[in-house]
Amino acid sequence: MDPSPPAGPRQQALAALVQADVDAKLVATQQLWAQWQAAQDGPQADRLAWLDAARAWPEPPEVPGRPARPRLLDPKSVPARNPASLAGRQALLHAIAHIEFNAINLALDAVWRFAGMPEDFYGDWLRVAFEESQHFSLLRDHLRHLGADYGDFDAHDGLWQMTQRTAHDIVARMALVPRTLEARGLDATPPIQARLRQAGDTAAVAILDIILRDEIGHVAIGNRWYGWLCAREGLEPLSHYRRLARQYAPPRLRPPINWPAREAAGFTEAELAWLRQEVG
């Protein structure tokens, strides 16, 4: 009897998503990206058959898989983190690492959940998952150097909550996760770097340089596919985004805003002008 065909990348992304062990999730994500890259040298027909883009799977009971720690609290219950002290710096970097861990999950979720998209969509989000796994690993290694580890501090789940709320609507997902919540990271990173630099943690500043560079690309991917989906469905991007923002009520945008990074990530002049009005 012939062996069963190997699981495609969307099925593997789902398996990585539900993996609760941190190290196993990282290995699965990185192996999946390596397999995807290797497959690009093969015939397109074979790649598309392996991709299985049209298939849909039922929602597993535990999405995403996550370790027992950190404990997840309401965002308002998570204390402020002042990097002037070692404990404050540990807590701040832990919070960023937790965002990166959630970002791995949301990229894997986009791969398995949304059937019928072009091949490039899945490749884009597998690359995002891989790069987020690198970011998380850099931050966790630095945390360990500082005497802490991932799971040692409480965290909140705001990024994943919006991922769940938009699970039924790929347009809303692209609008409100990468190009809204993740775009807030473009704004937040330079002020955080300034505080870490003042605390003398040049290694953390360098890690955030890498993250900021890659996150511009991740937000650009969200912009790309939001624009593509709006064109496919006959939606005007800015007015539809306003409707989605009213419906889902993401946290209000507050200054400072990293306008050059947002421009580099592909926000249009009309979108940037509207955001300037929103900030006031």
pLDDT digits (tens, 9 = 90+) for 167-199: 999 999 999 999 999 999 999 999 999 999 999
The reply to whether 136 falls in a domain is yes
CATH number at residue 243: 1.20.1260
| pLDDT per residue as tens digits for the range 247-264 | 999 988 899 999 999 999
Mean per-residue pLDDT for 56-84?
86
Mean per-residue pLDDT for 76-85?
82
What pLDDT does residue 192 have? Answer: 96
What pLDDT does residue 3 have? Answer: 46
Q: What is the mean pLDDT of the chain?
A: 93
The reply to whether 67 falls in a domain is no
The alpha carbon of 179 is separated from its chain's Cα centroid by a whole number of angstroms, namely: 10
| pLDDT per residue as tens digits for the range 142-162 | 999 999 999 999 998 888 889
The reply to whether 62 falls in a domain is no
Q: Give the angle 263-269-271 at the CA atoms, nearest 5°.
A: 90
| pLDDT per residue as tens digits for the range 104-123 | 999 999 999 999 999 999 99
The reply to whether 114 falls in a domain is yes
| pLDDT per residue as tens digits for the range 203-223 | 999 999 999 999 999 999 999
The alpha carbon of 245 is separated from its chain's Cα centroid by a whole number of angstroms, namely: 19
Q: How many domains does the chain have?
A: 1
Q: Which structural domain range is residue 247 located in?
A: 10-50+81-279
| Two tokens, residue 239 | 């007015």
What pLDDT does residue 2 have? Answer: 41
The reply to whether 272 falls in a domain is yes
Q: Give the angle 147-151-152 at the CA atoms, nearest 5°.
A: 45
